[in-house]
Structure 1
Amino acid sequence: MGDMMAKKFQLPLQTFNLILGFMVWVILSSLLSYIKQDIPIPADRLALVTAIPVVLGSILRIPFGYYANVIGSRLVFMISFILLLFPVYYISEANSLSDLIIGGIFLGIGGAVFSVGVTSIPKYFPKEKHGLVNGIYGLGNAGTAISTFAAPVLADRYGWSTTIKLYLILLLVFVVINFFLGDRKEKRMKTPLMKEIKAVYKNEKLWLFSMFYFITFGLFVALTVFLPNFLVTNFELTRVDAGIRTAGFIVLCTLMRPVGGWLGDKFKPNYLLMIVFAGLTLSSILLAFSPSIRLYTVGCLSIALCAGIGNGVIFKLVPQYFSKQAGTVNGIVSMMGGLGGFFPPLILSAIHSITGQYSIGFMALSQVALASLILVLWMHYTDKLKVSDEVFRSTGQGILVTDAAGVIKSINPAFTVLTGLTEKEALNQKPSILKSGKQSRAFYDEMWNNIRTSGQWQGEIWNRRKNGEEYLQLLTINTVRDESGDVVRYVGSFSDITPHN
């Protein structure tokens, strides 16, 4: 009974763990406008301070995802929260830019815990629900919204240093909660990390998913850390107003994540990703024209909508393609998403310092989103070709494909089994190499006359194997034409129907 209760608690428990991790992860960006009143920070270093936590938070996702399989999510979460006590306290006592950077690096542990849940949670649910449950777990992104909204309110009343110390209490509470409610008997896998990496690093799907998540989650993180300061300086909003608007962006993006996972369970994920990247392309173009605050809000919320759905869809795809190495692949993909949040704020800041505007940066973003749309289209059609190739190679019927002149250009493994001829022996030959001599010339004339007039023929025919044995086959020949109606190839499929006494 205790084990059953522990399993039922895992989705809500790990989701709240992620909320806390992300709350801690964005402490600096949430309170930067308050901190810089006490600690001098050069304008060109502001983006660096907010981006620093993203680095370790991204890189650690690979080992965190792996060790979630090795020692279980309960221990990984507990150890993470204990380790976070030190940088949180250190930052609360910071009095220099160096203190903020050093402490900020280790705040990354809060962002790294993301890969723990996406590895652990699917163990408790059937495959057809993986998109939805990973999407629900992804609601933990709301932790960034909670900090972005609540931290400035608390800092107004108690000061930024005391506000940060309050996070220490939350961390200790969650260490205790995980100790008692975490699943001690979670299913574990102990394949060496390098062996798992070697098994997946040549798979192009890994790097495509990484790029897609680099953009969708990267946009979420980037705008989360970029918007509070940008809205204050560019549109002259109050700090609290900017925090509320940023929180709205975060909430919408976060709520769309389980929607994206649920849609991924119901519809073809590739089609959904096409819509996502088309939407991101158009939204980024809108932001590139530096519109009014109203249109800027529309562009940002459109990005939140598309990025949130994309985040959910991608983590529906990962366990679908990498069931045995889900922990490591989740770590690599989510690491790339985290790094996607590191670079845009720095690039936007650098472009602004050179040109005085952000338009070029957003236009570049639109081009990256457009490139991703093209890659999704490519992935979709290569998947279809792969399925066709698998059917071609796995079917029990012998298949040969000829060009318009009747020269064999392709055969499947069943062709070799049925005829004894290898691919090397059959290619660039004519099907007449199989003739037994039992059919008359008139038989073949009638057969080809039917093929020319109706485009196909089916019937019984005696042929000869490589070893000279004659056998009766049921043969179907179909004509393939191009758009102009010209014959481009013939496809023959056959099976052995020789009567046996």
Structure 2
Amino acid sequence: MAYVKGNKRIGLLSATIAFFAGFAAVALYGITVHKLAFILHLSVMEVGWLVAIPLVTGAFLRIPFSALVDTWGGKRVILLQLFISIIGVTGIILTLQNIASLSSSLAYKLLLSFGALAGTGISIFSSGITYVSYWYPKREQGTALGIYAGFGNTAPGIFTAIIPYALITLGLIGAYLGWWLFLIVVTIIFLFVSSDNYYQQLLKKGYSDTEAKRISQEFGQEIFPTSAKETLKNAARLWQVWLLVILYFISFGGFEALTEWLPTYWTEFIGVTITEAGILTGIVYSLLTALFRVPGGFWSDRYGGEKIAIISYGILTFGSLIMIFSRYLILSTIGEIVMAIGMGIANAAVFKLLPKYAKNAVGGASGLVGGLGSAGGLFIPPALAYVVTIFGKIGFALGFIVYTIFGIISIGFSIFLFYKYGKYKHEISPELKKENIEKAR
């Protein structure tokens, strides 16, 4: 039998570590933006865009990088994403080291540009999903991807909590230097530990497609790369996929946005210290959101994704209403906890529904939902900043009406999906349901 490297557990572990490192870029400017705003005399809108910029590349690069896994292999693609992130953090460090000699305008543009490069690590989510999927049989996909997404998503929360202490002990440049070293170490680990799936390894060794599949199946591989172009095209034709994009835009994109925005909310509106803001954002909100994705997946399996989506977006909406009317630390903490629970469960529910509505285009649908959906992290922070610009300080609370409106829209879409498909057994796709009805006739 042909010699191949790696196994599914190593594949899952290496991908999760890489995603954890890359996804930490969600917190790239969330805490340090206060110091940068003071140094560069930034307006609220400029702060909003600086906070959002890593999420731009992190969102839209998910689609092409995920597709490239089928052609290049997951190892090469993820290494490229990590390398681009390292370049971005390197540029941030160099800019900060020379910030005194740069004009505020030039320094701001450089931080935007290098922040965009660093945000490439966020896009590892989709390429990692594809990478892990090829390692695991279908019956273990839910568990494997739940572990991957759940633990990888804890990165923003952990880093948001750590950075304030790094700022105190290491200073602004030292905090980013520590981040840079962490990325270097993870990249080296991934380089030596990870391997492409058996099928792609064998193709690179010169085996024919048929022979590579046969041998890979003997090793236990069940899912194989397909045409990235076709799966994207098929997914784009399904209106259900576009509803899931909107739902994910609100839950996951909204999660990314608040991870960046909440430090500003806590310090500027509630008046806590930057260290306390890091804990409230990183541990209380971001980490909790990530961890609730795990039971959210279980509940979606048991009760159906549509039902859980309705409930979770209802929870999110209720939390946003608390934030609108809160003016105090305790009530705002309760509000963000409620929002975290709703968002975490909703994120799991959306990806539970994805294979149901796009069973023949899961890869393409994952790229579209994960990529376009996460764009909420780009558009929501500037919207929140705009509300502050209009209403002043009270705008920090009033801005959460954005989440209330989005939450109500999501509840409506989820109810629509439930009444159209939810009364059928939730594992059955709309296409298969239609086939079964035709056969019954």
Q: Could you say whether these structures have the same fold, taking a TM-score greater than 0.5 normalized by the shorter chain as the test? A: yes
Q: Alpha-carbon deviations, 1:295-326, whole Å to 9, x = none? A: 11111101111111111222223234434433
CA offset at residue 157 of structure 1?
1.5
Q: Does the aligned pair in 1 maintain the 2:263–2:278 contact within 8 Å? A: yes
Distance 1:360 1:24, change over 3 A: closer
Matches within 5 A, 1:81-100: 81-94=82-95, 95=99, 96-100=107-111
State which of 221, 226, 232 in structure 1 corresponds to 2:256: 221
CA distance in 2, matches of 1:279, 1:236: 26
Equivalence for 1:51: 52
CA offset at residue 190 of structure 1?
5.7
Distance 1:131 1:272, change over 3 A: farther
Q: Does the aligned pair in 2 maintain the 1:131–1:262 contact within 8 Å? A: no
Distance 1:234 1:358, change over 3 A: closer
> Does residue 329 of structure 2 align to residue 293 of structure 1?
yes
State which of 119, 124, 147 in structure 2 corresponds to 1:136: 147
Q: Alpha-carbon deviations, 1:176-209, whole Å to 9, x = none? A: 2222221233445564443332212120121111
> Does residue 306 of structure 2 align to residue 270 of structure 1?
yes
CA distance in 1, matches of 2:327, 2:435: 50
CA offset at residue 242 of structure 1?
0.6
Q: Does the aligned pair in 2 maintain the 1:28–1:50 contact within 8 Å? A: yes
> Does residue 108 of structure 2 align to residue 73 of structure 1?
no
Equivalence for 1:325: 361
CA offset at residue 37 of structure 1?
4.1
Equivalence for 1:125: 136
Matches within 5 A, 1:91-110: 91-94=92-95, 95=99, 96-110=107-121
Equivalence for 1:370: 408
CA offset at residue 359 of structure 1?
4.5
CA distance in 2, matches of 1:337, 1:45: 23
CA offset at residue 269 of structure 1?
1.4
CA offset at residue 282 of structure 1?
1.4
CA offset at residue 393 of structure 1?
1.5
Equivalence for 2:103: none
CA offset at residue 130 of structure 1?
3.0
CA distance in 2, matches of 1:30, 1:140: 20
Distance 1:239 1:376, change over 3 A: same
TM-score by length of 2: 0.84
Q: Does the aligned pair in 2 maintain the 1:132–1:258 contact within 8 Å? A: no
Q: Secondary structure at the match of 1:29?
A: coil
Q: Which amino acid aligns with 1:118?
A: I
CA distance in 1, matches of 2:355, 2:251: 18
Q: Which amino acid aligns with 2:148?
A: Y
Q: Does the aligned pair in 1 maintain the 2:296–2:345 contact within 8 Å? A: yes
CA offset at residue 347 of structure 1?
0.8
Equivalence for 1:393: 438
Equivalence for 1:247: 282
Q: Which amino acid aligns with 1:218?
A: G
Equivalence for 1:464: none
CA distance in 2, matches of 1:327, 1:177: 27
The structure where helix makes up a greater share of residues is 2
CA distance in 1, matches of 2:178, 2:232: 39
Q: Does the aligned pair in 2 maintain the 1:276–1:306 contact within 8 Å? A: yes
CA offset at residue 274 of structure 1?
1.2
Q: Does the aligned pair in 2 maintain the 1:54–1:342 contact within 8 Å? A: yes
CA distance in 2, matches of 1:26, 1:306: 21
CA distance in 2, matches of 1:61, 1:67: 10
> Does residue 55 of structure 2 align to residue 40 of structure 1?
no
| 189-198 vs 275-284, which moves further | 189-198
Q: Does the aligned pair in 2 maintain the 1:51–1:345 contact within 8 Å? A: yes
CA distance in 2, matches of 1:120, 1:219: 25
Equivalence for 1:22: 23
Distance 1:186 1:278, change over 3 A: farther
> Does residue 271 of structure 2 align to residue 233 of structure 1?
no
CA distance in 2, matches of 1:243, 1:177: 28
CA offset at residue 360 of structure 1?
4.2
| 125-134 vs 22-31, which moves further | 125-134
Distance 1:75 1:319, change over 3 A: farther
| Higher relative contact order, chain-length normalized (CA < 8 Å, sep 6+) | 2
Matches within 5 A, 1:145-224: 145-187=157-199, 191-224=226-259
Unaligned runs of 5+ in 1: 396-411, 413-501
Q: Secondary structure at the match of 1:30?
A: coil
Q: Does the aligned pair in 1 maintain the 2:132–2:144 contact within 8 Å? A: yes
Q: Does the aligned pair in 2 maintain the 1:65–1:116 contact within 8 Å? A: yes
CA distance in 1, matches of 2:166, 2:433: 60
Q: Does the aligned pair in 1 maintain the 2:167–2:175 contact within 8 Å? A: yes
CA distance in 2, matches of 1:346, 1:71: 36
Coordinate RMSD, CA, aligned = 2.2
Distance 1:305 1:195, change over 3 A: same
CA distance in 1, matches of 2:168, 2:360: 49
Q: Secondary structure at the match of 2:181?
A: helix
Q: Alpha-carbon deviations, 1:401-450, whole Å to 9, x = none? A: xxxxxxxxxxx5xxxxxxxxxxxxxxxxxxxxxxxxxxxxxxxxxxxxxx
Q: Secondary structure at the match of 2:195?
A: coil
Distance 1:191 1:5, change over 3 A: closer
Q: Does the aligned pair in 2 maintain the 1:135–1:260 contact within 8 Å? A: no
Q: Alpha-carbon deviations, 1:103-147, whole Å to 9, x = none? A: 112122011111112222233334444333222211211111222
TM-score by length of 1: 0.74
Equivalence for 2:315: 279
The structure where strand makes up a greater share of residues is 1
Larger radius of gyration: 1
Distance 1:320 1:124, change over 3 A: farther
CA distance in 2, matches of 1:329, 1:360: 34
| 119-128 vs 99-108, which moves further | 119-128
Q: Does the aligned pair in 2 maintain the 1:285–1:366 contact within 8 Å? A: yes
